[in-house]
Structure 1
């Protein structure tokens, strides 16, 4: 997927210029920064200024210390990641949260789009693992009950909307969060699935997903929803990898087969 923005990094500030903003990505970013500055100062960059009506629009924020999480995370880093994820989710008071728009790619929207892609797409190439995964997931995604599963309302949380590990900065002591262009109202299970199924986690096996999830006390209903959300987002990444231009791949060789195996494991869970 093409980058949604360009970044200009200065000594004390970062300017984010948006290449795409048809879904209010720039306003989502600015809203998130201002809300988090009010309700959880220090968790995300402090907002400096924004030119939301420019073409392209831009948001200027304070520069944070730290480097993106990468490679195999230590136990302390997993703790920090869990604390940051939980802090984002719970920072915004519920009366404010209920007035926010849903995050981009609501699970029901994702389901309908992925159904369409599975229906249109011809069988994949010769690799048997990829072919098997495509066949099994096409059957799973067509199940009518999934509409009810993903339309269900849960206690709202504030969702980052993007599980890329590069959005979490480690400064040696704590994890802080950047990139809120997809953010909005969400639910805890979907946001946790967004993190543990993001392709940045599985390309280099950097995150122990069970270890991260063990830091959260989920209800039985949230646990059931998490299972289906993980399948949904693993499918999203599976189809994304299959649609890559082989002349300009974004991921290492073998990613499609690994993601197919990941998807099969989740479907069998």
Structure 2
């Protein structure tokens, strides 16, 4: 049975499968929704899940890797984004996102979702937040202007001092983690494929990174800033007069130089011409004081993505080849990005 959500909710009676209209206050309504949604998801029955989504007027959104995201027409608050974190581990994604959205709201940062509630009940925590509705940034007819607005939003986020949990945790996939992957993980993975025709090239690029001094440069101390943690441009939307972003589950502390490099070298940024990024370096906080750290982080980020795509080179051959060319370009003495 389907019922559009209103102030008269129709909760299912599990013993009779009948429904009885009943007015629920906001908190009780949300708890009932989450309980029913969790039961439907845990059951693995697609029909039951579809019925639950339809009954509560929930619309699934795409894009979640470690969670499921829905739009709920909350009768008390209007369109609400609900994120359920099905992957729970020591990375504390739900806590990071809730802490960041709360902190940004306290400092008056707009163009990001507004936190509404958090539910830590059960094995799958959930967060409710306002719905940020806009056009995907990469589909903007004026991409340079959208990216310029994106940097302004980044500036506002970075201007908020990390506090509480966010002052204690590095962002997920930090520059230090990238270096760890290149130093401790990838060499062992390459060793498992000694006869692969690509292994020698990968080892050569890795040796060049080790000999460049980049690892030492990215270790130099710098002031911490609040970081979104996820540089994927798919998380950015073009709003009427700005660019806004969603997904703060990787957030934590970072540095301006590391985040600027991670943004430019994220694989979602490869279709943005380098001359556009050159023009945005100042807006991303790169200046003569941190340029060496930025360049080192840039080469580190590019090589890290090569390591990621190397593991998937069979099914993502075109992306791997493109990233291989990018790393070679950045490591070349003739690269326009070189000091």
- TM over 0.5, shorter chain: yes
Alignment root-mean-square deviation, CA: 2.6
Asked whether 1:50 is paired with 2:50, we answer no
SS at match of 1:158: strand
Asked whether 1:257 is paired with 2:313, we answer no
**Structure 1 unaligned runs (5+)?**
none
> What is aligned with 1:16?
83
Structure 1 Cα separation of the partners of residues 97 and 149 of structure 2? 23
Q: Per-residue CA shift, 1:31-58, capped at 9, x if unaligned? A: 0110011113323100011113531111
> What is aligned with 2:206?
138
Structure 2 Cα separation of the partners of residues 98 and 183 of structure 1? 8
Structure 1 Cα separation of the partners of residues 147 and 137 of structure 2? 10
Higher relative contact order (CA 8 A, sep 6+): 1
Aligned residues: 259
TM-score (norm 1): 0.85
Moved more, 154-163 or 52-61: 52-61
Listed as ranges, the matches of 1:1-269 within 5 Å are 3-11=65-73, 12-22=79-89, 23-71=91-139, 74-90=143-159, 92-93=160-161, 99-120=167-188, 121=190, 122=193, 126=197, 132=201, 134-143=202-211, 145-202=213-270, 204-205=271-272, 208-244=276-312, 246=314, 249=315, 253-268=317-332, 269=338
Structure 1 stretches of 4+ with a deviation exceeding 4 A read 94-98, 123-127, 144-147
Contact 2:166–2:226 (Cα < 8 Å) also in 1: no
TM-score (norm 2): 0.69
Q: Offset at 1:241?
A: 1.2
- In structure 2, relative to structure 1, the CA distance for the partners of 1:220 and 1:124 (3 Å cut) is farther
Moved more, 145-154 or 11-20: 145-154
Contact 1:67–1:170 (Cα < 8 Å) also in 2: yes
- In structure 2, relative to structure 1, the CA distance for the partners of 1:43 and 1:234 (3 Å cut) is same
